[in-house]
Amino acid sequence: MPRHVACVMDGNGRWAQRRSLPRTAGHQAAETTVIDIIEAARAAGVEWLSLYAFSTENWNRPGAEVDFLMGLVRRVVRKHAPLLLARGIRCRFLGVADSRIPRELARDFEDLATLTSDNRGMTLTVAFDHGGRRDIVEAARSLIRSGTPADEVTERLFADHLPFPDTPDVDLVIRTSGEQRISNFMLWQVAYAEWVFPEVLWPDFRAPDFLACLRTYRRRDRRFGGVPPRTTGDPS
């Protein structure tokens, strides 16, 4: 069983276009999938689940779509907060640094993280306004600020300066809709990840598809290029 599963939620726009609906309808349809997958992952015993909700590059999308996304995410967060709390899921948001994020949304993110901070069931990391390179640059800045001598910098020490340093390496990345790209997602943590690329679009992705991905993962022969399995993260 993979310890840390990450999903790149791709295909919302295409899902909507195939139905001659506006792209926003695709994002709306994605909500059901998100809740379904969170529940499936929890039930399957996945300890860490990460979802790629919005990348630093997504700001380039049309303004109306971005605005819609912000409103949608806010509604989803508020709607499901009690459920996430009751299910014992610890939620946190990776990124969330851009000033274009509405203040109310940032507040809700913070509230949800505070609310669920004591949960121990599963850790759900939502990458929102996330960029893998930016995190690495931030870690480098933090290292330099801490005055660490160059010779002492190790992979482990470097990882301690990344946001949420307790996050273990990603074991499995699922990218829906058949696209086969990394797209600047958790670059440091996916170093040894296995990738699966189901053809199904994210709004159509359901628990059985997710479990199928887990089965695929179990059939893979992970070798880590001769490196110890976990270079980062809390081994507890």
Instruction: Provide the binding-site residues for other proteins, judged by CB under 8 A.
Output: 74-75, 77-78, 81-82, 85, 92-93, 96-97, 103-104, 106-115, 117-118, 163
Q: Minimum Å distance from CB 78 to other proteins?
A: 5
Nearer Cβ to other proteins (112/213):
112
Strands 194-196, 172-175: pairing kind? parallel
In angstroms, what CA-CA distances link 198 with 171, 218, 227? 17, 16, 28
Q: Does the annotation mark 60 as catalytic?
A: no
Q: For residue 55, list its beta bridge partners.
A: 130
CA distance between the termini of the chain: 16
Q: How far is the CB of 85 from other proteins (least distance, A)?
A: 7
Exactly one of 10, 129, 169, 209 is catalytic; name it: 10
Residue 174 CB, nearest approach to other proteins (Å): 26
Gap between the Cα atoms of 58 and 77, Å rounded = 19
Cβ proximity to other proteins: between 32 and 114 the closer is 114
58: annotated active-site residue:
yes
- DSSP H/E element including 135: helix 132-145
Pick 100 or 219: Cβ nearer other proteins: 100
Query: What residues does 49 pair with on adjacent strands?
Result: 5, 124
Query: Which residues are identified as catalytic?
Result: 10, 58
